[in-house]
Amino acid sequence: MQAVRYDRYGAADVLYAARVPLPQAGPGQLRVRVRAAGVQPADIARRSGDFARRGIGADAPFPQHPGYDFAGTVDQVGDGVRGYYHGQEVLGWCDGGGYAEALTVSAAQVVAKPPMMSWAVAGALPSSGQTALLSLQALRLRRGDTLLVHGAAGGVGTLAVQLARLAGAQVIGSASRENHAYLRSLGAEPVLYGEGLVERVRALAPQGVSVALDAAGRGAIEASLALGVARERIATLVDGDGAQRHGVLRLRVECERERLHALVDLYEQGHLHVHVREIYPLAHAAVAHRDVETGHGRGKVVLMVYPTGDSGFDP
């Protein structure tokens, strides 16, 4: 089978396709024929060496295999696994290796994919959705709060906006001007990021902002503090140095099957929209990484493995 990997840290062009043996499901595992793999900032941080510089996975040997999120079809069930069967459509997360035509994963890290959920959406949801949900739980978001989401048009931001609205909060989302109509469609009041952000937010929320989630960096923590948000109700997903400097929450995601189940249920009920802005064949992983690295896109980027085997690899 084909899988994407890299032999050193660096820019997107370190990614390459390799032919590797088809893995076998061990006890408690499933083998999944991958149909879609989500691409996210964590993949870039791992590939670039940023994670290793921060002591995250610094001892991991090369070659490394990127990709945390996937969706696909079960084609082998390991000993001791109950509740899953050959041919079942699933989505889930792994510790790397999602950019491949197949992978093995603990059965505790997948849930069933609803028939009405597309492969692209299924590949995009697991980590971003859980990150958004965990963030709001950590911030103790409650009905009546006013939440400011920095980077609200991104993969995590768009889901955080919707989950916060479902919880009864008012939401203000910072984004570039071209994403303002999109944020309004999700129920947020958009605001232009950059110089003057604090004044613009005060004009939109004269009652004040009670909670802030930073999915953007670029001075978001400082702006949140200037708006009077309590330190314990500010969280960042991207600015670890700023979190340490200012004493705010630095969130790290620990995925859980029950949390992913809850997100899938919300999607089935029509309460959650997952926007996939771009789909690339698996062999174009480097192009997909460069897309995500721009930092300005709306929603998610997904790699697809097509059932014909046409995933963009040379024969």
* pLDDT over threshold 60, residue 86: yes
Q: Do domains 2-113+275-304 and 128-250 have the same CATH topology?
A: no
Residue 313 has pLDDT above 60, yes or no: no
Q: For domain 128-250, which architecture applies? A: 3-Layer(aba) Sandwich (3.40)
Quick count: other Cβ atoms within 10 Å of Cβ 297? 17
Nearest to 264 by CA among 105, 117, 161: 117
Can you tell me the mean pLDDT for 122-138?
Answer: 98
Q: Which residues contact 124 (CB under 8 A, 6 or more apart)?
A: 36, 38, 69, 155, 274, 276, 299, 300, 302
Q: Would you state the pLDDT for residue 311?
A: 57
pLDDT tens for 257-283 read 999 999 999 999 999 999 999 999 999
51-60, 275-284, 289-298 — which one is most confidently predicted on average? 275-284
Q: How sure is the predictor about 45, in pLDDT bands with cuts at 50, 70 and 90?
A: very high
Contacts of 283 (CB under 8 A, 6+ apart): 2, 4, 17, 311, 312, 313, 314
pLDDT digits (tens, 9 = 90+) for 195-246: 999 999 999 999 999 999 999 988 999 999 999 999 999 999 999 999 999 9
pLDDT in tens, 164-205: 999 999 999 999 999 999 999 999 999 999 999 999 999 999
pLDDT of 308: 60
| pLDDT (average), residues 45-64 | 91
Percent of the chain at pLDDT > 90 equals 91
Q: What is the rounded CA–CA span in Å between residue 69 and residue 204?
A: 36
What are the extents of the domains in the chain? 2-113+275-304, 128-250
For residue 49, pLDDT beyond 90: yes
If pLDDT is split at 50, 70 and 90, which confidence band does 315 have? very low
pLDDT in tens, 131-150: 999 999 999 999 999 999 99
Query: Model-level pTM greater than 0.85?
Result: yes
For the domain bounded by 2-113+275-304, which CATH number is listed?
Answer: 3.90.180.10
Instruction: Output the pLDDT for position 312.
Output: 59
Tell me the pLDDT tens digit for each residue of 101-118. Answer: 999 999 999 999 999 999
When the pLDDT of each residue in the chain is averaged and rounded to a whole number, the result is: 95
Chain position carrying tokens 């959650």 = 272
